[in-house]
Amino acid sequence: MHNIDAAAELLDGVGVAKPEIEAAVGSLLKAFGEDACREGLERTPERVARMYDELLAGYRVDPHALINEAVFEVDYDDMVIVRDIEFYSMCEHHLLPFIGRAHIAYLPSGKVIGLSKIPRIVDLFARRLQVQERMTRQIADFLEAAIHPQGVAVVVEGLHLCSKIRGVKKANARMVTSAMTGTFKTNDITRKEFLAHIARDTSSLAV
């Protein structure tokens, strides 16, 4: 599981360096022309440090523990799809959030992975400083390495605040990225079936 081991190498076992972040945020507030000691801002550096500890938790998730005992041998080789997985990530270029949905499919080859693990895999890579293109590929490669399926398909739709509130200010622009492996990449019929499934309106399934 080369990609899983590579992800494990990022673990540091502890949270973000909160004192350093607090000091940096204090310096930023002063650079903005603010009084970092006034009531509304007095605890802002502390709050920001806690926020980053949560938003960047993906660096500290043990990928082996993530999928531990959740890979099962099953005689099933048709498509498995988990769609509309919400994610929240942080753009590494401007340190602004991008949010959206991920749709993931795989064709088992004797093994399936527990349903709850697929959204957790998305979170593993989303909760880091990211670019959407890389995140999409990382999700596909991780699942490929974890269960060695016939193929994996990942489509990610993201709304980026760096383009919504600054720069070009295009409020409704969405980025769509995809990563395909195995049968999804080589078989046009399989790929079209996946894309048709994620295009369907499933609002009637809500309970």
Q: For 39-70, give the secondary structure using H, E and C.
A: CCCCCHHHHHHHHHHHHCHHHHCCHHHHHCCC
Share of the chain above pLDDT 90, in %: 77
Q: What DSSP character marks residue 37?
A: T
Identify the weakest region by mean pLDDT among 128-142, 146-160, 165-179.
165-179
Of residues 180 and 62, which shows the higher confidence score? Answer: 180
Give me the catalytic one of 37, 42, 54, 93: 93
For tokens 């980053």, name the residue.
52
**CB 140 within 8 Å of CB 77:** no
Instruction: Give the pLDDT of residue 3.
Output: 64
197 catalytic residue (yes or no): no
Contact 90, 56 (CB under 8 A): yes
How would you class 207 by CB atoms within 10 Å of its CB: exposed for 0-12, middle for 13-18, buried for 19 or more?
exposed
Neighbour tally for 60: CB within 10 Å: 17
* 94 annotated active-site: yes
Q: Are strands 80-91 and 129-130 parallel, antiparallel or unpaired?
A: parallel
Average pLDDT over residues 99-120: 96
Give yes or no for a contact between 111 and 152, defined as CB atoms under 8 angstroms apart. Answer: no
d(CA 126, CA 74): 29
**One of 22, 130, 132, 138 is an active-site residue; which one?**
132
d(CA 156, CA 51): 24
Q: What is the pLDDT of residue 57?
A: 94
pTM: 0.88
In sequence order, which residues have a C-beta less than 8 Å from that of residue 22 and are 6 or more positions away? 45, 46, 48, 49
DSSP symbol at 34: -
Q: How far apart are CA 97 and CA 51, in angstroms?
A: 12
Active-site position among 46, 150, 162, 197: 162
20 given a catalytic annotation? no
Structural domains of the chain sorted by starting position, each given as residue range(s) with its CATH number in brackets: 17-55 (1.10.286.10), 70-202 (3.30.1130.10)
- Known active-site residue 37: no
Q: Give catalytic status of residue 93 as yes or no.
A: yes
Active site residue 148: no
* pLDDT for the residue numbered 207: 44
Grade residue 167 by pLDDT with cuts at 50, 70 and 90.
confident
- Of 34, 46, 64, 94, the active-site residue reads 94
**Residue 57 corresponds to which tokens in the numbers above?**
């938790």
List 91, 103, 130, 157, catalytic entry: 91
